[in-house]
Structure 1
Amino acid sequence: MSSVGGAQGTDPEVVAHDVDATTGSNAAAHDPASRRSPVTRLLRQSWHHVTRAASGIRWYVHELMGDTAYAKYVARHEALHPGVEPLTERAFWRQRTDEAERAPVARCC
């Protein structure tokens, strides 16, 4: 048997197709993405979408529950009142709770 394209018994068209004409090397062997199976690529893409969705849900829940209220208060306070010390986080939540008890509004919880 003769050696074609450096591999014994290999179809010359396949070898010619796999070898990059400019460098003479097998580009697919150096590209990690091309070596992944379609299942692996699909799983990676799916995982990316799942993590983005989870991140969005996490953001929404934090906003809904008011977890970011103090950080927003501090940012707004510094913009409107530079040089004035903002409330401590404990004082901020106490004031917010007192206001909610003083003027109740219809809400789910």
Structure 2
Amino acid sequence: MKIEFRQGIVSHPESTGGQAFLQVSGDDVNILTGSGDTVVAFAHRTSDYLHTELNDVSPAWENINSLVDTWLYWEIDPQTAIVTYEKTIVQPTSGLTQPSAPVLDQHWFDTSTNT
């Protein structure tokens, strides 16, 4: 499979109303796979990885405040390949240089090293 980007959602189930893989349940977000798998791409230095969600994850992300913009992401441990589901309320950024005044919990993807 060839994709045109290094990090992000590659494919996911869709329905006539849009995406069909994320379900809000109270303050939680579930991943649903009944209509098909969800595939996400990750980059780390010179390596690229694909992760496929084959089974429902309920909940994947917990305690989401619906009144605040929240970014959901997959975290993969580079030593064990264990996947966890994380969130932040600080908009992620990317670039060649580190943010000069990063905010606590801000995620930055260094495009010079792909980390």
TM range (shorter): under 0.3
Compute the TM-score of the two structures, normalised by the length of structure 1: 0.20
- Decide which structure has greater strand share: 2
- Decide which structure has greater helix share: 1
Compute the TM-score of the two structures, normalised by the length of structure 2: 0.19
Q: Which structure has the higher relative contact order (CA within 8 Å, separation 6+)?
A: 2
